[in-house]
Structures are given as C-alpha cells and as structure tokens.
Amino acid sequence: MSFPPLPISHPLRDDHLAKLTASNFDVAIIGGGINGACLYHYLKQQGYKTALLEAHDFGSGTSQNSGMMIWGGLLYLQNFDFTTVYQFSRARDYLIKNFPTEVIPKEFHFVHSKNTNRNKYADYLGFVLYWLLSHGTRRFPKFNIMNNTFSFEEGLLTQSDARFTLSWLNRLPQTQSVCVNYFKVNQAQYNASKQCWELEGSDRIFNQSHLVQAKYVVNACGVWSDQFNMKCEIKTNYKHLLSKGVYLNVKITNNDDKATIYEMGQHQDVITYIPWGPIALWGPTETTVNAVEDGFVVNEQDIDFLIEKAKSLDLKTVTRDNIVSTRCGIRPLVVESSYENHGDYTLKISRKHQIEHDRLRPWITIFGGKLSGCTTVADEVTKMLLKKLTPSLPVSDASPFRQNAQTKADYPDVNESMKNEYCYTLDDYLRRRTNMAQWIENSGLGSNEEQLKAVKAICLQLCLGDPFVAEQHFNFYYNAISGKNVYDKI
Ligand SMILES: Cc1cc2nc3c(=O)[nH]c(=O)nc-3n(C[C@H](O)[C@H](O)[C@H](O)COP(=O)(O)OP(=O)(O)OC[C@H]3O[C@@H](n4cnc5c(N)ncnc54)[C@H](O)[C@@H]3O)c2cc1C
C-alpha cells in the first residue's frame, strides 16, 4: 500500500477541489514546500488567481527537515561572497521584523576549532563584518577569549519549518485561489489555441483524475523539479545537485538550551546544536546523492558520523540512547545544467537560487532557495510574472494574518486543524501541525507506546468518528513508522 486509506470527505478540501476543476487559473504552482507556499501568498496579494498543488502534504518534502535557522549566510563569508550574505541578511531581518510570531532573533554561539589555521582575531573581524552587512540590525557580536567562542544573533523559527510553510497559505482570504494537498500533477501540456496549460493530476485521497487549467505554471517542486521538467519536456539552463542532510534529534537532559555552532575543522564546514522544545537538533550531515529516492533515508553511517562528531567534541547529551527522532532532507543545490560533479564537497556549491523562464512557453522553474530566502524568491517570481501577465483580480487590500505562537501545551485542536489547516492524516497532525512525531519517541507513540490511546483518539477524530476507517488508518501509520509500509513520497 502506498497511501494511508482515508476515504472521507472533508468540507474544506472538497470545496477547494471543486473550485480547482471549475476554474481557469492565472497561475498554477506545482509543489507546496516553502518556495511554493510563500509564492502562493505573494501571488494572491497581487490579485493572481492561483492554484497551489502539492503531491503529499504541504511542507512534507525538504521543508520539514531543515535546521530551522533563518540566517544571513555566515558561512559564505569564507568564500568572500558578500552579495549573497547581504541578500540573505536582508531577507532574515525582513522576516524577523514582519513575522515576529514565526521568526525570532536568537543568540548563537560559534566555537572556533583548534584544527583550523585561521586566526581567531581575524574571525572576530569576520563576525563584525557579518554584523555590518546586516546594517547593524542584529546584536553586536561578542568574543569570549576564555573559551574561543563568538556570540552573535541570527533568526530562528518559533514553531517548526513545516508550520512556517503552512503559515503562508492562509495569511490572506482565499478569494478565488485554492491550495490542495495530496494532489499530484502527473503531466502538463500547453494548449496553444486556448493559450493555457492543461495539467493532468490525481487526487490521492479519492484516487481520481482531474484536469486543471492555468495560463502560467511555476515549477516549485524542489528536488523533484528536474524530473518534472523533463516529463513536461521543459529544457533548462540549470539543474539541481542533491545533497542529503541528516539531524539526530536528542533529548535535552542538562538544561543546555544554548544554540551552538561548532567548526568541524574539515571542508570549512560546521555542525550545529539547535534546541527545539524538549529536544535539540544535532547535525546536519552533507552527502551527495544521485537520486531523490536515496536521499530521504537515514542510515547507520549517518548516525555513526554524527555520534562520533559529538564524542570528539565531548558533548555528553548527544548519545545513541538519547535519540528521540531523526530528520532527513535533500538540499536542492542549483548548478548549471552542464555541471558534472567530480566529488566536490557540496558546501562549496552555491546555495543561492535561480529563477528560469522557459524560452517559448509560460513556464517558470525555481531552482534552489532556502527557508531564509523564501520572500526573496517569491518577490522575484512575482515581479517576473507582473511583466508578462495581468492579474485577473484586484490587488488584495486585506492585512496579512499573523498566526499565534504555539507552545507545546497549546497544540491546535484536531478539529480546528481539519477545518482550517488542511490536516487529513495522522502523519499530517503528528509531524507537521504539531511537533509530536519529532518530540516524542517512536514517532509520537512514546518509547513504550504510552501515547497509544491518545494517538488513537486523534485518529478517530481525523476519521470523523468512523471506527473502521480509523483503525485502518492507524494501522497504516503504525506500520509506516515501524518500516513495514512506505509512504509513497511522489
Ligand atoms: C538538512 C537540511 C538543513 C537545512 N537547514 C536550513 C536552515 O536552517 N535554514 C534554511 O533557510 N534552509 C535550510 N535548509 C534548506 C531548505 O530546507 C530547503 O532549501 C527548502 O526547504 C526547499 O524548499 P522547496 O519548497 O524548494 O522544496 P520542498 O520543500 O521539497 O517542496 C517541494 C514540494 O514539491 C512537491 N512535489 C514534487 N513533485 C510534485 C508533483 N508532481 N505534483 C505536486 N507536487 C509535487 C513535493 O511533494 C514537495 O512537497 C536545509 C536543508 C536541509 C536538507
């Protein structure tokens, strides 16, 4: 079985599905990760009638597996890439200023490695330069000479990367735009006489095919965008290099809630300890993979590597016994399509983005991009579109809605999540609407399944009180987390 059984109608989804097939959209965005979701908000604001189509759940690709830092690109200073650092710093400061319940300033500690041949005083000047590149908006960096540590300020997501992605969908009233998860676009064909794209897609909950029409397509499929372009015979000057990254999520046992970056003394790379609720993210790894399918899997080598690194730094909390969960994503790194990888360490490859318009047809592809730069990407695509296509609706004059900060004790009610947040499966609720699947062992069930009863009750609510469907649905989740079923990603 490749998909959790859930043959139940949900009013919000039914409404959006009905509008999806009845309308002719200005723009269809394929892919509901951070790039697609943030762009959806920007286009709605400009009056574009937009459809956002996501094959799985919103944010369930790379956008639910990041380090959750909204950062100014400190590491790129090593390559003297001042423009990129300036742009990322601006984007970070814009998010901190305008979305204060989602992104907060956070002090980070950077531990200088003994194995590097760089002078620590020169490094400190680097931190001051980093601060200057953000126009001095962040706190002035400090250097603690006793323990070779610099402290400086970055941004951090308050709830999670998945919720940050979700937050872009409902900031403005939907008007005539729609966003639909569990809707996979299989093929797109340009109908020259009608001057629109015809997208053939499948609703994966009811296993039904639908046709969606749109004047423009934006391919925001992240690491899947190359294969989607190929399927639709779109040739591009760029492509993605795939870089897998794994974090171990470990229990915080000694009140160590300091966000710390350690220099690895290798490849000029770093490893981070980022507190997040009751756990801390330790990682990430950086490994090139050839296929997307190979990349979303944590293996023993990844775990060994991260545990060894922690041992070498004498970090007592990062042990195998303390692992609560893991996260694993693939960075979409943009390179020219002629690029051949001869074993380059992927940190050396630019983490910028590129936006490419097809030479002949109304089709735009987003390459690369990070959570930190989501508004920059959305702004650039919107400006590109405004030069080519007049929005069919007036510019929105509604003020963007800000979501309330949630704490552990204040999870969204399941019914609210279904009603307002496109939440349909147990995995949606435990992994992306709340952090339970990451904060509680055994994907939310607890190390001795002590949460079983509570999770089953959530499942029953999600299945609208139907005990038969709820049991099937719970069994699917249970088998998936114990490796017996595989969630079919795309
Ligand atoms: C380990 C790691 C740590 C990171 N840490 C940070 C960090 O701290 N800060 C930061 O700013 N960035 C970070 N990043 C980078 C950031 O997470 C990614 O660059 C970003 O999430 C990519 O978003 P996206 O929208 O392009 O892709 P995705 O989130 O992967 O979204 C693409 C979506 O397209 C959908 N899709 C694919 N094909 C189809 C189809 N045919 N039909 C419909 N939908 C389809 C997929 O289901 C998917 O949801 C990190 C990345 C990794 C891997």
Query: In a structure prediction context, what are the per-residue pLDDT tens digits for the chain, which is 490 residues long?
Result: 355 656 577 888 888 999 998 889 999 999 999 999 999 999 999 999 999 999 999 999 999 999 999 999 888 888 888 888 999 999 999 999 999 999 999 999 999 887 777 788 888 999 999 999 988 899 999 999 888 899 999 999 999 999 999 999 988 887 899 999 999 999 999 999 999 999 999 998 888 899 999 999 999 999 999 999 999 999 999 999 999 999 999 999 877 779 999 987 666 678 999 999 999 999 999 999 989 987 788 999 999 999 999 999 999 889 999 999 999 999 999 999 998 877 666 666 667 899 999 999 999 999 999 999 999 999 999 999 999 999 999 898 766 666 655 555 456 789 888 888 999 999 999 999 999 999 999 999 999 999 999 999 999 999 989 999 999 999 999 998 887 655 555 5
Ligand 1 binding pocket includes 67 (Cβ within 6 Å):
yes
Question: What is the C-alpha to C-alpha distance for residues 300 and 15, in angstroms, rounded to an integer?
Answer: 44
Q: pTM, whole model, 2 decimals? A: 0.95
For residue 226, the CA-to-ligand 1 centroid distance in Å is: 14
Question: Which two three-digit tokens encode residue 391?
Answer: 């929005």
Ligand 1 binding pocket includes 63 (Cβ within 6 Å):
yes
Half-sphere exposure of 392 (CA within 13 A, CB side): 13
Ligand 1 binding pocket includes 331 (Cβ within 6 Å):
yes
Nearest residue by C-alpha to atom 52 in ligand 1 = 66
Ligand 1 binding pocket includes 73 (Cβ within 6 Å):
no
> What pLDDT sits at residue 401?
64
Closest ligand 1 atom to residue 186 Cα is: 41
- The DSSP call for residue 113 is P
pLDDT tens digit string along 8-23?
778 888 889 999 988 8
User: Nearest to residue 395, comparing CAs of 49, 42, 27, 46?
Assistant: 46
Best residue for ligand 1 mutational test, from 331, 372, 375 (most atoms within 8 Å of Cβ)? 331
Do residues 203 and 212 make contact, with C-beta atoms less than 8 angstroms apart? no
> What pLDDT sits at residue 350?
67
> What pLDDT sits at residue 406?
53
Ligand 1 binding pocket includes 220 (Cβ within 6 Å):
yes
Nearest residue by C-alpha to atom 4 in ligand 1 = 66
Ligand 1 binding pocket includes 62 (Cβ within 6 Å):
yes
Ligand 1 binding pocket includes 391 (Cβ within 6 Å):
no
Question: How many residues comprise the chain?
Answer: 490
Question: What is the C-alpha to C-alpha distance for residues 31 and 17, in angstroms, rounded to an integer?
Answer: 16
Question: What is the C-alpha to C-alpha distance for residues 292 and 78, in angstroms, rounded to an integer?
Answer: 29
For residue 314, the CA-to-ligand 1 centroid distance in Å is: 32
Ligand 1 binding pocket includes 476 (Cβ within 6 Å):
no
For residue 124, the CA-to-ligand 1 centroid distance in Å is: 33
Ligand 1 binding pocket includes 60 (Cβ within 6 Å):
yes
Nearest residue by C-alpha to atom 3 in ligand 1 = 66
Query: E strands within 170-219?
Result: 178-180, 183-191, 196-203, 208-219
> What pLDDT sits at residue 397?
73
Question: What is the C-alpha to C-alpha distance for residues 287 and 285, in angstroms, rounded to an integer?
Answer: 6
Greatest C-alpha distance within the chain: 72
Question: Which two three-digit tokens encode residue 453?
Answer: 């009863």
> What pLDDT sits at residue 480?
87
Question: What is the C-alpha to C-alpha distance for residues 331 and 316, in angstroms, rounded to an integer?
Answer: 29
Ligand 1 binding pocket includes 65 (Cβ within 6 Å):
yes
> What pLDDT sits at residue 218?
98
For residue 22, the CA-to-ligand 1 centroid distance in Å is: 29
For residue 369, the CA-to-ligand 1 centroid distance in Å is: 8
